[in-house]
Every structure is written in C-alpha cells, then in structure tokens.
C-alpha cells in the first residue's frame, strides 16, 4: 500500500470516527422505488483488509466485509423497499423491529452491527483504555481485567451465532449478548442499551483462522479494540 493510499484510508477512518453516531447514517436520502425512506449504506472499511493481521486474517476480512456484510446491506434494502416501513432511521427501525419481517430484522441488524464492529477495531490498538472509558469500566466492573473477563464470558457463552456487547443503559454500563444479528437497540432484545462496543462471534468471523477455537479469536481481538471509538460513543 502506498503512502497516499494509506493517508486516504486514515482520513476516512478519522472521518468515520468523528461521525461515530452516524453508524446510524443508515438514514440516507436515497430515493427508493415508491418513495423516500430508510436505506442502509455499507461504510468504507476504515483500514485495508490486511491491516488487522495477524489477529484477524486478510481472507476472513475480505469475505466478511465483502460478502457477508455486503449481503446484509443489500438484503436489508431489498426488504425495506418491499415492506414500506415508516422508519427513517436505524434506531427507529430497531425500536419497532417486532413489526417487520424476519428478513428485515436479520439483515438490518447485520448491516448496522458490522459498521459498529469495523469501526471498533484498528491496527495497533488494544491495550488498557485511559480517561473516561477507563474510569467508566473501573467504576462499573471494578477493574479493566474484570471487565475483560465478563465480556469474554459473554462472547464465549453465546451459543451458536451472535454478538457480545458493552452497552450503556439508563446510565449504567452493562455487558451481554444477542443471538443472530439482533442488537441491544432492538425492542425484542433481552439486552437493552446503546452499544459502545460489539464483538461478532459468528463462526464466519473467525473460522478460517481459528476453526472451533472461539476463545483464541476473542483473546486476539482485544489487541484490536479501538478505545478511542468507544470513547466517542460514550460521549
Ligand atoms: Mn459477521
């Protein structure tokens, strides 16, 4: 990768971070057949496919972003066009997700969750967060190590496909998980809150490199967590 390309990707990443809540950008003004409405857009990956090596391998990133995530976005938009949903933002849609098709629920969740996931990682990150995130985690969980332990537990105990989350709910930081592509913004979700950090524990997120060893994937992922992005969401 040449320097110019790198700078351009870095600027995209910086721009993406500044607009963090606009992972809710899903509300685009693109006109749909039959009228204007909510449409999802796949945000550019804020780093090259190979940037997360060795923790997440290049092929996994290519397939995960280029195929899985792209398909969620395409299928969510197909369902939105077919179902005449009145929501104009992703949050609004998730707040009434019990009223739409399973196709829309699964794919809208997949579209949104992955944008959060990509922007929650960056090469050369990880470590222990300082400042307000560090303080908030210490306050809620006692220590950063304890937070990691509880979050890892949520990621490991989610049976089958799903996500582990750190959310803020009614002023409190909470950890939990959701099945499939559900997220804590969905009215149907047992875990409720505004996501600060999400970890994809679908096998498609790690199987090529880690096979059945989800624990090794989760352990490696901590080296990529972009605490600056989490701080931006914490507000
Ligand atoms: Mn995924």
The Å distance, Cα 139 to ligand 1 centre, comes to: 31
- Asked if 90 and 105 touch (Cβ cutoff 8 Å), the reply is no
Task: Indicate the pLDDT class of residue 35, thresholds 50, 70 and 90.
Answer: very low
- What are 2's two structure tokens? 């040449």
Tens digit of pLDDT for each residue in 196-223? 999 999 999 999 999 999 999 999 999 9
User: Where is 228: in which H helix or E strand?
Assistant: helix 227-234
Output the pLDDT for position 36: 65
pLDDT above 50 (res 230) = yes
- pLDDT (tens digit per residue) in 113-154: 999 999 999 999 999 999 999 999 999 999 999 999 999 999
Cβ(55)–Cβ(23) under 8 Å? no
pLDDT at 95 over 60: yes
Q: How far is the CA of 171 from the centre of ligand 1 (A)?
A: 28
C-alpha dihedral sign at 206, 198, 136, 152? negative
Spatial separation of the C-alpha atoms in residues 196 and 227, rounded to whole Å:
10
Of the candidates 216, 230, 55, 235, which has an alpha carbon nearest to the alpha carbon of residue 129? Answer: 230
The residues whose Cβ lies within 5 A of ligand 1, an ion, are 200, 202
pLDDT at 37: 85
228 C-alpha to ligand 1 centroid (Å): 22
């Amino acid at each position: 990768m040449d320097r110019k390309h790198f700078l351009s990707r870095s600027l995209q990443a910086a721009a993406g971070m500044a607009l963090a809540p606009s992972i809710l950008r899903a509300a685009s003004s693109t006109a749909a057949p039959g009228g204007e409405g909510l449409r999802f857009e796949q945000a550019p990956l804020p780093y090259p496919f190979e940037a997360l090596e060795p923790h997440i391998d290049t092929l996994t990133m290519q397939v995960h972003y280029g195929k899985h995530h792209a398909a969620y976005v395409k299928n969510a938009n197909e369902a939105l066009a077919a179902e005449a949903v009145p929501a104009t933002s992703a949050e609004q849609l998730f707040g009434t997700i019990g009223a739409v098709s399973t196709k829309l629920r699964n794919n809208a969740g997949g579209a949104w969750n992955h944008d959060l996931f990509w922007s929650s990682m960056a090469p050369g990150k990880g470590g222990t967060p300082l400042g307000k995130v560090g303080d908030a985690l210490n306050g809620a969980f006692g220590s950063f190590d304890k937070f990691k332990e509880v979050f890892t537990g949520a990621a490991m105990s989610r049976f089958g496909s799903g996500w582990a989350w750190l959310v803020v709910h009614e002023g409190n930081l909470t950890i939990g998980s959701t099945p499939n592509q559900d997220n804590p913004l969905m009215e149907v979700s047992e875990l409720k809150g505004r996501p600060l950090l999400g970890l994809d524990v679908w096998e498609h997120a790690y199987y090529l490199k880690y096979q059945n060893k989800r624990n090794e994937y989760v352990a490696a992922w901590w080296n990529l967590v972009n605490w600056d992005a989490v701080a931006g969401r914490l507000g």
